[in-house]
Amino acid sequence: MGTASALPFSDRNPSAQALSVHGRLFLIDCGEGTQRRIRQEHIGFVKFQAIFLSHLHGDHCFGLFGLLSTMSLYHRTAPLKIFAPAGFSAILKFYLSWFGQDLSYEIEHVPLKMKEPEEIYADKAVRVRAFPLNHKVDCFGFRFDEVLPEPSLRSIPVPGREKRGPRSYAYCSDTAPFPELPGWVAGVNALYHEATYPASFADKASQYFHSTTEDAARCALAAGAGRLILGHYSSRINDFKTYLEEAQAIFAETVAPNDGDVFEIE
């Protein structure tokens, strides 16, 4: 729902993604404009099971507070867990002190403090692990692994339909490259990895603790990912073909999405 970085484009919002797993809906980051994207994509405002915030830079969380209020206006009653860095507690306290008096549901902040991958959420459909990234502030990635139901005695094999394994998706927000990351996302069917800059801006990427197209592609290759999804495009760049061409030269199964694109994880 958002593929831009710090500055919105006329046709691109900052970071936000909606992930659907067997009817369960999760929001990953919530940059400015996310509410409008939710409405444009005809997603129910109260359907999100949980929200995962990678870090507390504005382009990843400025859209959250209006969304929380809108959920109340739609009479949400189910409690909402927000997984976010520890510093989010003070932000949530401020929001609730000014705007939470009439909120129709409870919000629970689950602080992220881990130094290596750690399971933070599990239900019958998915297990989620968080892991630290290499950014200027505390920043975390997320790995979603599908949980398949145990085979039933009533299960009847369908001819021609092979049994598949569980699917997986990893979200690697703002980060400079670091050696452990490919191992933490190893074997995922789809990997979202920020690629703020083309390779010619490698100095900027290093300065701001971000990744280039080539950094993202090398991570996907080392991880053995099935597909690489780029994003977090810099406002300095107008030619988005460069992102795709540079990444595909290293990792062929790369896509450079637009806002509103939908992918089936296979």
Which is the catalytic residue, given 11, 29, 59, 259? 59
The residues facing 145 across adjacent strands are 127, 168
Q: How far, in Å, are 180, 222, 250, 258 from residue 219 at the CA level? A: 10, 5, 10, 22
* 81: its two tokens: 């867990």
Tokens of 174: 């703002």
Nearest CA-CA partner of 35 in 8, 65, 59, 55: 65
**174 in active site:** no
At 142, list the tokens.
């997320």
Q: Which residues contact 204 (CB under 8 A, 6 or more apart)?
A: 197, 210, 234
CB 143 within 8 A of CB 170: yes
Which amino acid appears at position 82 of this protein?
A: I
Which residues carry out catalysis? 59
